[in-house]
C-alpha cells in the first residue's frame, strides 16, 4: 500500500510538472511570433493553428499531447530561422 501511495504521488507530481511546462512553451512561441514571424504565410498559419491547439489540449488536461503539439509549432519556427 505504501508503494502504491508513493507511485500515485509521483504520477500526480509529474502531471503537474507537465502542466507547468505548457504555458512556458506557449509564451516562447508567442515571443518568437512577435519578434521573428515566418515570412511564409502558410507556415505562419500552421504555427498559429498548432499553438492554439496546444493551448486547448493544455486546458483540457492533456499535457503530453499539448507539449507534443507545441513542439511541432516550435520546430516550424526553428526551421524558419
Q: In the block, which residue shows the cell 512553451?
A: 25
Which one-letter DSSP state was computed for residue 39? S
Q: pTM here?
A: 0.76
What does each of the 81 residues of the chain score in pLDDT, given as a tens digit? Answer: 566 555 555 555 555 454 568 899 999 999 999 999 999 999 999 999 999 999 999 999 998 999 999 999 999 999 877
Q: Please choose, from the candidates 31, 20, 30, 11, the residue with its C-alpha nearest in 3D space to the C-alpha of residue 67.
A: 20
Rg (CA), the chain: 16
Give the rounded distance of the alpha carbon of 8 from its chain centre: 24
- Per domain, the residue ranges of the chain are 2-80
Which CA distances in Å does 32 have to 21, 27, 37, 69? 17, 9, 6, 16
Amino acid at each position: 500500500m505504501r508503494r502504491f501511495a508513493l507511485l500515485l504521488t509521483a504520477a500526480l507530481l509529474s502531471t503537474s510538472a507537465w502542466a507547468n511546462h505548457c504555458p512556458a512553451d506557449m509564451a516562447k512561441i508567442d515571443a518568437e511570433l512577435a519578434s521573428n514571424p515566418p515570412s511564409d504565410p502558410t507556415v505562419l498559419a500552421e504555427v498559429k493553428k498548432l499553438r492554439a491547439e496546444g493551448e486547448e489540449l493544455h486546458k483540457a488536461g492533456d499535457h503530453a499531447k499539448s507539449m507534443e503539439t507545441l513542439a511541432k509549432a516550435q520546430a516550424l519556427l526553428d526551421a524558419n530561422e
